Amino acid sequence: MPSPIAHTAAGYVVYKFYGLKEHKVFDTVGNNSTAFILAFVFSLMPDLDVIPAFFAGNVSYFHNNFTHSLGSGLIVALIVGATCQMIQGRGFKYWSILALLCYELHVVMDYFTVGRGVMLFWPLSNERYEPAITVFYGLRRSNGLLTLDHVWTLINELCFVLLLLILMRTYEKLRLNMSG
C-alpha cells in the first residue's frame, strides 16, 4: 500500500480540481479550509482499519480488507452526504462526491500497489484483485520500521507527487491561458 504521502497528495489533487470545478459551492456549503481538511481525511479514511490492527497486534488480519473496497467508499460517501445535509440543510451532492472521489482514489491506488490485492467489490465478493501492472512499491510494515524498502517507497512516492504537481501546474497554466 502507498504511504500517507501518496494518499494525501492524491486527496489534495481531488480537493484542488474539484474545488476549481465546484468553486461556487465553497460560498454556499462550507469554506475552502473545511474542504481541504476533509479531502485529506477522506483520502486516508480506508486506512483507519489499522487502529484495531495496532491494538490486536495483527495488521494483516485487519488492514486492507473491506475498508479497501469500492462499496465501502460508496457507503462512506452516502453517510457523509446525508450527515452534511442534516447539519447544513444543503450540500449532500458536494460533500458526498468529495468523500467518494478521495476514498475511491485511495482504494484504486492501493489496487495498483505491490501486495496482496484489494477486495474491490466487497460486499458482493470477498475476492482480492491484483493488477497486471503496479505503480506503487508500497510500505512493507512486516519488514520493520527502519528498512531500505521504505527508501524505495519514498522515492517512488516522491516521483508520484512530483508528477502530480507538474500535471497540476500544467493544467492551471492551460486554464489561465484559455480564460485570458
Secondary structure string (H, E, C) spanning 81-122: HHHHHHHHCCCHHHHHHHHHHHHHHHHHHHHCECCCCECCCC
CB count within 10 Å of CB 140 equals: 16
pTM of the model: 0.82
Coil/strand/helix, residue 129: strand
Largest CA distance in the chain: 57
Span 75-84, pLDDT tens digits: 999 999 999 8
**Confidence check: pLDDT of 146 > 60:** yes
Span 18-76, pLDDT tens digits: 865 554 544 444 556 788 899 999 999 999 988 887 888 777 777 788 999 999 999 99
Sorting pLDDT into bands at 50, 70 and 90, what band is 179?
Answer: confident
**Predicted pLDDT at 27:** 45
Percent share of the chain, pLDDT over 90: 38
**Confidence check: pLDDT of 120 > 60:** yes
Q: In total, how many domains does the chain have?
A: 1
